[in-house]
Structure 1
């Protein structure tokens, strides 16, 4: 019987931690449990856990910070009789120019991630805090940085280079792309492994798209940081750089004020003046014209980016929706695709309206020139797969532990 390797996947946000524990044996992979700690830093938080598709724990308590949240996760694993994981994998949004591939974490890598903070200021602080907290809890366990930017290293220079002085390229100012773990999972699930020209739309509170052909990313909508591209829940997406110059010179904004504006106060929240949550806006749109306007602008932004990625690919055979909005919001898929029917994106209304979550399904009409799919993504599994691969590598620290 093959030895069982248990990998804990950690996906840290500023106020939440999602986690999953996987068991690998030979070619078999199984999720043992999955859960989350939510509302970290607030007066009342929540921790929940699913095991074998059944909610086995759901309780409310305060989690002052990442340390207490991770201590709760570790304690819960102990309550369930789960042995300590063999390794821990972390979703790391960006390693900046320092790391472009998944890598075991040592002191140098951790220092490089701290230096990469300007490339993902919204995400990296919580991710680094989680690594440091687990180093205290399990100092002997291998931890791995699984980079959202790794999938996009196939970008040709014509797509990756920004139209700025060349010295900035040498300093790492370029398009990196994000949501790579999600895109990689989707490609791995396709029968042709992404050979056909495809646009993958990862739509959630953070949203991006990628043009994929021959299994490689040719372009993507996010750039240097996860702030660019499509309109998002609270992020602006692409802006005329002159807007920032205006705010600096005429409104006396400083860098921290700009960061807050672009990442926390813009997007759907800024347009609607009420919420950055798509489900909330959909519920309000018939009574609230600003909610309807935010939804319309989101769909408009998505259509524009689909058009630009079609140009990159020279034509498209497949459009895939994934992410929380992409998988669950039929009204948004309709708003995006209906005006593009003349370009070959023809939805089947009944198939689009189905609500069977967790399954890949075709929602294009039988005569649609472009196949349109809804696919669930699994970033946690990709984290676990890469962590297992590096754990089993002869060059990993664990491989030399007596």
Structure 2
């Protein structure tokens, strides 16, 4: 894999840390800015919504810009948003910085996903995507727990400064590693924006975007509310929350790595095997959550299966959106973040029911079951590999 891919992954690591880090920082933010924890939680929603709206919007605006300039601009805007957030004493200003950061993140990821696919040969898109998404998985292993510890020791503002600082070497890497010229698909004789948007009426593209959103919704439904399962249901101390998150992160890294070597040539096999196992895993986790050893083992397994299946489906989005070379990454980003926004909302509605803390885990199983019911009758379509045949 070319060096620029790893440089892009460093930036994705910083952005992934920012996206997930608020879970451990909300109490400190609420106290410092004199708002309730519930109000502070709106910062998470602001980021997710900014990602959903920002991915196609910013990608459309930047579609004819040189990739290096676009990526550099987005990473510097992301760093600036965190620097402003680190010094503000106003909650509305902090809210605004989260929206700006989300827009920059969405634009960066949309361009980076497309750029990653063009840095390798056409039959290695899955492996390229695995390298890029490893930045997110490593963020869950090291960035988020590290940010939580830093926030505990030095305050939440220190974590914001750390994320801003992480962007600087990534920006330098982009400046040195990404070609400055305009690539073929960015040229003025490439597809018009209307033609790229028209790809969204293709049923095969809609199918893989829907499946990717459902699997990611399941992932975030269970992941977001994992802490009370660890402490209340399993009866472990708060220290074990970080252990569980790290195990999930290691699992996600393993899943992305393995799937990256299979998703180009054998996407149908990954989905046919990984989908049912993912469903069984969520159900087993809901049943065995009161047993600490089983809980921690299954957290690792679910991280691996969730990211293996999710990354495979997002790779399929890039293949199926080949007719939209500058917008394909934004379609993948939007699908991921629709799931990230919807999953926790569905899971939250189950917390007040009779199943309590286990509700989000049952929700994850339900979302995967829906995805399988949609996918299995159309498995030959999904398994079409690199075929460009259109499902009419």
TM-score w.r.t. the length of structure 1 is: 0.25
Structure number with greater CO (CA < 8 Å, separation at least 6) is 2
Q: Name the structure with the higher strand share.
A: 1
Q: Name the structure with the higher helix share.
A: 2
TM-score w.r.t. the length of structure 2 is: 0.25
Instruction: Work out which of the two has the higher radius of gyration on C-alpha atoms and give 1 or 2.
Output: 1
